[in-house]
Structure 1
Amino acid sequence: MKNLVTELLLKLAQKEEESQDLAEQVETLEQVIIEMLRNMTWSDRQILIRHIEDTLAGAGRMPAFLANVHNAGESVPKAF
């Protein structure tokens, strides 16, 4: 019984570590997309945001970070 509990705890720890790694990757991707948006013209930002939304809508889910993408796209002056 102790071995079973030990194995389950080890698997749980491994899954938690994998989850943290995935969360870090998503956060990094979010930062990359936001920086890309900041360096694009206003019209190109809007096109990219629309493409991202369409792609994610087709996948049937809309991640929370998309609000950050919108905010980044709107907070950069149109002159850029």
Structure 2
Amino acid sequence: MKNLITELLLKLAQKEEESQELATQVETLEQVIIEMLRNMTWNDRQIFIRQIEGAVAGVGRMPAFLTSIHDAGESVPKAF
């Protein structure tokens, strides 16, 4: 029984670590996209935002950072 509990705790710790790594990757990707948007012209930014919206439409959930960009009149936030 102790071995089972130990094994489950180790698996839980591994999953937690994987989850944290994934969250870090997502945050990095969001920062990269925001920097890309900052360096684009207004027209290119509009096209890029529409393409992202189209790509995530099937997922059923818009990323929060993209929603805030879109809702703020397509402006890119100064800070993430």
- State TM-score, norm by structure 1: 0.83
How high is the sequence identity, in percent, across the aligned residues? 76
| Aligned-partner Cα distance in 2 for 1:25–1:2 | 35
Across the two proteins, how many residue pairs are aligned to each other?
75
**Greater relative contact order: 1 or 2 (C-alpha under 8 angstroms, separation 6 or more)?**
1
| Aligned-partner Cα distance in 2 for 1:9–1:48 | 43
Is 1:17 equivalent to 2:7 in the alignment?
A: no
| CA RMSD, Structure 1 to Structure 2 (Å) | 1.7
Give how far 1:32 is off. Answer: 0.2
Runs of 5+ in structure 1 lacking a partner? none
Give how far 1:75 is off. Answer: 4.1
Q: Which has the higher helix share?
A: 1
| Aligned-partner Cα distance in 2 for 1:67–1:4 | 44
Write the deviation string for residues 26-76 of structure 1: whole angstroms up to 9, x where unpaired.
0000000000000000010011001101110123322223234435x4147
